[in-house]
Structure 1
């Protein structure tokens, strides 16, 4: 899959399927995106290949107080992916809306639903969590292994 920002200056290619796709309904994501939730496909850092310009990394505050690093187009300022402190630089949370075919990445899980807008209705079979979930219980073993291996690869780059 490929994607990019609104002006086309930043383009990327994704290798393989995402580890998981989260729809985050926290109030922070609502404010940051200007809509009811963020939709992020989680990929290992080395499965996100930059095809054109490098994004600008912007350190932003977060509700946790730990902040996040958002990769934005330096021209149109669209956010294309983020790094969160819990996952560090090993995992990139790619904004599904920046993909050329976002329909390929429906949400696997809805998180922070305790603060979702009351008029948002989730499908009856949706996996929904009031806050964040326990990764050891939600992510399959092979996905947890992908995350572990990515953290190991990023540590070797240092």
Structure 2
């Protein structure tokens, strides 16, 4: 993703977020790398909606400030393991990370942020699996599956 895209946030702003019940809270100090709107079945099930939204950030940019989330691990279509971090009380999904702790990024579930993100520059992925009738905005970057 090109530098300077902030997805609706002021440059260098601290972002805060947390679960639905407020037991788990986090801060994001890093600038976003990308915003993905994922139309795969797993993201639809996880969000109980038409798609899931994930804000990619450097791993070092996330700080847990309250609570003790739990982790559930699943296999992605790529065969890689995905660690799904969620609140043990209300079940809200908060972020995803790979099973490699040395990986340089993770994805915050954008709906768990306190302030909304601007989806106008989102990258749509797994569009081959999108729900019938859902329109991808003209000119949006999109991929029928998972991009490289």
The TM-score normalised by the length of structure 1 is: 0.75
Structure 2: which 5+ residue stretches go unaligned? 1-14
- Report the secondary structure of 2:80's partner residue: coil
Distance of 1:48 and 1:106 partners within structure 2 = 24
Looking at structure 1, the residues matched to 53 and 101 of structure 2 have their Cα atoms a distance apart, in angstroms, of: 17
Q: CA RMSD in A?
A: 2.1
May I ask how many residue pairs the two structures share in their alignment?
A: 134
Structure 1 position 129 matched with structure 2 position 138: no
Q: After the TM superposition, which residues 7-156 of structure 1 pair with which residues of structure 2 at under 5 Å, given as runs?
A: 7-84=21-98, 89-104=103-118, 107-134=121-148
**Alignment partners' CA distance in 2, 1:107 and 1:50:** 27
- Structure number with the higher strand fraction is 2
**Long gaps (5+) in structure 1:** 135-158
- Larger relative helix fraction: 1
When the two structures are superposed, what TM-score results if normalisation uses the length of structure 2?
0.80
Displacement after TM superposition at 1:94 (Å): 0.3
Q: Distance in 1 between matches of 2:82 and 2:102?
A: 9
Following TM superposition, the consecutive aligned residue runs of length 4 or more in structure 1 with deviations greater than 6 angstroms are none
1:30 alignment partner, SS class:
helix
